């Protein structure tokens, strides 16, 4: 049974969801450091003062946006059918995630960050990737029938998978190839899935 909220409460919940979604998209494409609260409010279609009614600062907003990104991954695992491996679910999750982000384009700041010899720390991505690693470790441990408390392989493979997306983006930025393909969504999708395929080929034999 759906919960019915007063109109004012519904508006507040909707506004918060819009702000978190906008922050998630901007932090992922433009970068945490180069995204302002005004940027987030504008993309959400709200006034920045409305944002401040929900979040005290950008750090608090980043935590909420990261929690939403991690929750989306958990939803994919919850909806997975029997027989789907962690690799299958991660591949589907990445396709869905990129479908939502790539139309916004890769910002110039993100392009520069990917090409940097010493990447700038990104508070949002640090939280997201840590959460992704925990979720992937949990499910890989089931696939491999290993206890992550005594076997490091599930978390090791999990780290390969979450880092694979950044690896793909760096390749598309020309870090390894010398050719910039960040403006071609098809190239990014192809490279990202290729990285997942390589990881799966290496570790699929551990699935029991």
Is residue 74 in a domain?
A: yes
How many structural domains compose the chain?
1
Per-residue pLDDT of 183-201, as tens digits, reads 788 888 899 999 999 999 9
pLDDT at residue 1, as a whole number: 46
Is residue 106 in a domain?
A: yes
Nearest one of 78, 64, 72, 113 to 95, comparing CA atoms: 72
Is residue 183 in a domain?
A: yes
Instruction: For residue 134, give its domain range.
Output: 65-206
Question: Among residues of the chain, what percentage have pLDDT more than 70?
Answer: 90
Is residue 103 in a domain?
A: yes
Task: List the CATH number of the domain containing 161.
Answer: 1.10.357
Is residue 38 in a domain?
A: no
Is residue 11 in a domain?
A: no
Would you call 179 exposed, middle or buried from its count of C-beta atoms within 10 A (0-12, 13-18, 19+)?
exposed
Per-residue pLDDT of 30-39, as tens digits, reads 888 889 999 9
Q: Which residues contact 16 (CB under 8 A, 6 or more apart)?
A: 54
pLDDT average, residue stretch 106-116 = 70
Is residue 73 in a domain?
A: yes
Per-residue pLDDT of 8-31, as tens digits, reads 788 999 999 999 999 999 998 888
Taking phi first (over 0 means left), then psi (-120 to 50 degrees means alpha), and beta for anything else, what does residue 145 get?
A: left
Is residue 95 in a domain?
A: yes
């Amino acid at each position: 049974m759906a919960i019915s909220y007063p109109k004012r409460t519904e508006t507040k919940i909707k506004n918060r969801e819009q702000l978190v979604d906008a922050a998630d998209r901007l932090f992922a494409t433009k970068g945490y450091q180069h995204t302002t609260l005004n940027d987030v409010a504008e993309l959400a279609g709200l006034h920045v003062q409305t944002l401040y009614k929900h979040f005290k600062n950008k750090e608090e907003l980043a935590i909420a946006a990261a929690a939403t990104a991690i929750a989306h991954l958990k939803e994919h695992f919850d909806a997975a059918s029997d027989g789907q491996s962690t690799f299958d679910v991660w591949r589907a999750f990445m396709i869905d995630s990129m479908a939502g982000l790539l139309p916004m384009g890769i910002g110039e700041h993100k392009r520069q960050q990917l090409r940097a010899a010493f990447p700038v720390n990104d508070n949002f991505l640090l939280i997201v990737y840590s959460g992704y690693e925990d979720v992937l470790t949990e499910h890989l441990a089931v696939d491999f029938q290993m206890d992550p408390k005594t076997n490091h392989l599930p978390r090791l493979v999990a780290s390969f998978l979450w880092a694979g997306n950044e690896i793909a983006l760096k390749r598309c930025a020309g870090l390894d190839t010398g050719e910039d393909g960040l403006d071609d969504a098809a190239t990014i999708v192809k490279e990202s899935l290729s990285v997942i395929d390589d990881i799966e080929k290496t570790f699929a034999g551990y699935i029991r």
